Structure formats: C-alpha cells, structure tokens
Amino acid sequence: MSDLPLSVLIAIALSALIAAIELSRGTGLSLRRCITTSAALYFAILAVGTVATTLLASATLPNAAVNLQTGGTQAVAADPPTSTSMSKLAGLGWFWPAFIGVFAFEVLLQNLNISFLGRGVLSINDWISKAREIAVAEALKNNVARNTALAQELATKLARLDEATLNTHVTMLLGQEKLQELERIAENSKANPRLIKALALAQSSYEKASVIPVAD
C-alpha cells in the first residue's frame, strides 16, 4: 500500500476518534448509545474535511521531506545521530500528511467563513457544531425512548407481584411516604395501583427493581 491511501485511512480513523470523543462527552453515554444516523453524518463531515486537508498536506510535504533528507546528508559528518533522526522522521511519509491534515482542518474550522454577496453566510465551524448538536440530541432522545421502553417492560412484569410483596419492595426501595403517595395517586385517578407502584419502581430504581424475582 502506498503512502497516500494509508494517510487517508489514518485521517478517517482520527476523524472517527474525534467524533466518538465529542459525542460521548456531549451525551454522557457510552459510544454504542451514540451511534445514530445523525452521528454518521457528523462523522462523514469530519472525515471529508480531514481527508481534504490530508490530501493537501500530502501534496506539499514531499518538498519538505526532500529538504530534511538533503540537510541530513550534509550533516552526517558533523552530527550523525541528528541526521539519522531527521531521516527517520522524513521517512514517515504515511503519518505526517494525516497528522498535519487533522490539525489543519481544526485551524480551518476556526478561521474559514463562507460569504455570499459580501455577507457572511456560515462558517465551517458552525456547520460542524450544528451537526454535532443534532447528533447529540438524537442520541439523547433515543436513550430516553430506550429507557422508557425498558421501564415499561419491567413495570408490566413487576405488576404481576401480589399487593403485599409489591408494597414491601416499594417501601424498601422508595420509602413508606412514597408508597402512600402512590396509593393516593392510584385512588384519585382510579388507576391500577399495582401498575402505578411497579412503574414507580422501574423508573426510580431500575437496576435494583430489575432483580426482583417474579414468577412466570
């Protein structure tokens, strides 16, 4: 594999790492929970930008590498260790375009604006920020929907417990006052008291409530 395709792959991998860190930090969720359609779009925008700047860097770095190698050859007699180090650095042709390309894209994010008819339309940084915000919002929304579905599934299971057993678990996990409050809510709303208590358990103390044994 030549240097350029490898540099592009490294740039894409670094883009994926940056996207993963930003989304995980923005949502507070695990990476698996952050994988959404919007997250893929956010990653794609980052990848296109970093690949573009990597290609630009790969076109400008060869001359710098030649200068390093030439300078190193001239300095062999005077300082062999330094010339060897410089030659090794210059030989990492697959790494430097990707490394410089990623950081160059970060610079562009902060400084490049798009104008139309003399008016600033939108900066690249705004585009990236909006894509990240949408990805974060979708991940959080999906996580809420998932947690709600899990809580409802658990509540349906816990509602099969007899009243005395369910009351005991509610008292132990949520307290006596909460039990009395839930009973008042069920009575006033003419709702199923066991389901009301089961939902409260599932929503307020899911991990502990999920290990409560329920006969099939």
Interval 104-153: pLDDT, tens: 777 766 665 555 445 544 566 777 889 999 999 999 999 999 999 999 99
Q: Taking the CA atoms of the chain, what radius of gyration do you get in angstroms?
A: 29
The pLDDT, as a whole number, for residue 38 is: 94
Q: Which of 68-72, 94-98, 119-123, 191-195 has the lowest mean pLDDT?
A: 68-72
pLDDT at 155 over 90: yes
The pLDDT, as a whole number, for residue 51 is: 87
**pLDDT confidence bin for 196, thresholds 50/70/90:** very high
Q: Pick the more confident residue, 147 or 59.
A: 147
> CA–CA distance from 198 to each of 27, 48, 54, 214 (Å)?
28, 49, 56, 12
> CA–CA distance from 81 to each of 26, 52, 76, 88 (Å)?
46, 35, 8, 11
Can you tell me the distance from the alpha carbon of 33 to that of 17, in angstroms, rounded to the nearest whole number? Answer: 15
Can you tell me the distance from the alpha carbon of 129 to that of 45, in angstroms, rounded to the nearest whole number? Answer: 11
pLDDT at 78 over 50: no
pLDDT at 52 over 90: no
- Residue 121 burial (CB count, 10 A): 10
pLDDT at 45 over 60: yes
Q: Pick the more confident residue, 81 or 101.
A: 101
The pLDDT, as a whole number, for residue 77 is: 42
The pLDDT, as a whole number, for residue 115 is: 53
CB 164 within 8 A of CB 215: no
Maximum mean pLDDT: which of 89-98, 137-146, 188-197: 137-146
Can you tell me the distance from the alpha carbon of 164 to that of 170, in angstroms, rounded to the nearest whole number? Answer: 10
Can you tell me the distance from the alpha carbon of 170 to that of 180, in angstroms, rounded to the nearest whole number? Answer: 10
The chain-wide mean pLDDT, for the chain, equals: 80
Do you know the residue count of the chain? 216
